[in-house]
Chains A and B, each alone.
Chain A
Amino acid sequence: MADSDTRLAERYGGDASAAKTPGRHFILTLSRLWAWAFLALLIAFFVVSISLTTGGSVSFLTLRNSQNILVAITPVLLLGLGQTFVIIAAGIDLSVGWVMSLASVLSALAIRGTFNAGAPLFVAAIAGFLAAVGGAAVVGLFNGVIIAKLKVPAFIVTLGSGFIVRGVSLLLSENTTVIGLPPGIRDYGNNALLYYLHGEGGGFFFVDRPQLAGEALRRLDPILPWPVVITAIVVAIAVFVLRKTQFGRHTYAIGGNMEAARRTGINVDRHIIMLYILSAGTAGIAGFLSTLRFTAGSAVIGDALLLQSIAAVIIGGVSLFGGAGNVIGTVIGALIIAVLTTGLVMLNVEAFWQFIVVGSVVIIAVLIDQSRDLIIGRGRSG
Chain B
Amino acid sequence: MTRKHVFGALAVAAVALGASGAMAQEKIKVGFLPGVVDPFYQVMELGVNKAAADLGVEVVTQVPPTWGVEVQTPILDALIARGDLDYIITAPTDKDQMVGPLQAAVDAGIKVITVDTFLGDGDYADGPVTFPISYIGSDNVEGGRIAAHGLAEAIGGKGKVYINSTNPNVSSVEGRAVGFQEEIKEDHPDIEVVGLDFNLDDPNTATTQTAAVLQRVPDLAGVFGTNVFSAQGAGTAVVNAGLGGQVQVVAYDATQFAIEQLNAGTVSMVLAQKPFDMGYLAVTFAVADAAGVTSLPKRVETGFAIIDKDNVTDPEVARFIYQVPN
Which of A's residues lie within 8 Å of B, judged by CB?
50, 54, 58, 60, 62, 64-65, 68, 71-72, 75, 166-167, 170, 175-177, 179-180, 183, 186, 190, 212, 214, 217-220, 222, 225, 290, 293-296, 298, 300-301, 303-305, 338, 341-343, 345-346, 348, 351-352
Contact = CB atoms under 8 A, between A and B. Distances in A.
A218 B241 CA distance: 7
Name which of A60, A343, A348 has the most chain B CB atoms within 10 A of its CB.
A348
A64 B66 CA distance: 34
A68 B208 contact: yes
B241 A64 contact: yes
A301 B233 CA distance: 12
Contact of B209 (A75, A176, A225, A345): A345
Given A58-B215, A175-B37, A342-B208, A220 B65 contact: no
B198 to A, nearest CB: 7
A341 B264 contact: no
B215 A68 contact: yes
B264 A170 contact: no
Contacts of A343: 212
A217 B279 CA distance: 45
21 contacts: A68-B212, A68-B215, A71-B211, A72-B211, A177-B39, A218-B242, A218-B246, A220-B242, A225-B240, A293-B207, A294-B236, A296-B232, A296-B257, A301-B204, A304-B200, A305-B204, A343-B212, A345-B195, A345-B212, A346-B212, A351-B209
A300 B201 contact: yes
Rank and list the top 8 A-B pairs by shortest CB-CB distance, nearest first: A217-B242, A345-B212, A68-B211, A72-B208, A342-B212, A346-B216, A179-B257, A304-B202
B155 to A, nearest CB: 15
A294 B258 CA distance: 12
A348 B243 contact: no
Interface string B161-172: 000000000000
B239 A190 contact: yes
Contacts of A352: 198
B313 interface: no
Nearest to A181: B260
A298 B197 contact: no
B114 to A, nearest CB: 22
A212 B213 contact: no
Contacts of A342: 208, 211-212, 215
B216 A222 contact: no
A133 B38 CA distance: 26
Contacts of A304: 200-202, 205
B42 interface: yes
A305 to B, nearest CB: 8
Name which of A58, A71, A300 has the most chain B CB atoms within 10 A of its CB.
A300
Contacts of A300: 66, 201
Nearest to A212: B242
Contacts of B36: 176
Given A190-B240, A295-B264, A342-B211, 5 more contacts: A58-B217, A166-B65, A225-B240, A293-B207, A342-B215
Contacts of B211: 68, 71-72, 342
B215 A64 contact: yes
A54 B216 contact: yes
B325 to A, nearest CB: 12
Nearest to A190: B240
Contacts of B324: 175
B93 interface: no
A159 B39 CA distance: 28
B216 A341 contact: no
B260 to A, nearest CB: 6
Contact of A218 (B195, B243, B257): B243
B53 to A, nearest CB: 22
Contacts of A167: 65
Contacts of A305: 202, 204
A187 B163 CA distance: 26
A177 B255 contact: yes
B213 to A, nearest CB: 6
A176 B37 contact: yes
B129 to A, nearest CB: 27
A298 B217 CA distance: 30
Contacts of B212: 65, 68, 341-343, 345-346
A186 B264 CA distance: 10
Given A58-B215, A62-B215, A345-B216, A179 B260 contact: yes
Contacts of B239: 190
B159 interface: no
Given A68-B212, A179-B257, A220-B242, A351 B197 contact: yes
A99 to B, nearest CB: 16
Nearest to B256: A179
Contacts of B202: 301, 303-305
Interface string B198-228: 1011111101110111011110000000000
A341 B204 CA distance: 11
Contacts of B208: 68, 71-72, 338, 341-342, 345
Nearest to A352: B198
Contacts of B257: 177, 179, 296
Nearest to A186: B264
Contacts of B209: 341, 345, 351
Contacts of A222: 240
A175 B243 contact: no
B14 to A, nearest CB: 47
